[in-house]
Amino acid sequence: MKRITWFLGGAVTGVAGSNALKRRVRATADRLSPVRLARSAGSRLGQGVRRGGEVIRSKERELVARVQGRATPLSAELDDVHTVIVDGRTVEPGKVILLRQPPERTRGLGRRGA
């Protein structure tokens, strides 16, 4: 009787383990299919291109502000007694750049006799 119990227990465990392993293998094969890999790579490439565009636009705004004289280092604005904290961390004032908004220009569009 003991042998039959152990045999049945081992058989049930083997079948259950085999089915679980089969499901994991199929899920992994599905996740690593060429179509899914291509979608994932395309998505990551798109995210990288978008992030690169954001960085380029940000740097362009900074350079234009410097050329127009609207960008000054924060150290020029602060005394030695001030501390700059960004996201909870102390930062050197010379590493922070202030960008000022350009003065608004009125073009006089739509105004007659003003």
pTM > 0.85: yes or no: no
For residue 93, being part of any structural domain is answered with yes
**Alpha carbon 94 to chain centroid distance?**
26
For residue 29, being part of any structural domain is answered with no
pLDDT digits (tens, 9 = 90+) for 43-84: 889 999 999 999 999 889 888 888 888 777 776 777 777 777
Q: Which residue range is the domain that position 82 belongs to?
A: 71-100
For residue 49, being part of any structural domain is answered with no
For residue 10, being part of any structural domain is answered with no
For residue 37, being part of any structural domain is answered with no
For residue 110, being part of any structural domain is answered with no
For residue 55, being part of any structural domain is answered with no
For the chain, how many structural domains are there in total? 1
Task: Give the dihedral sign, CA 49/64/102/81.
Answer: positive
pLDDT digits (tens, 9 = 90+) for 23-48: 999 999 888 888 888 888 888 899 99
For residue 79, being part of any structural domain is answered with yes
pLDDT value for 107? 55
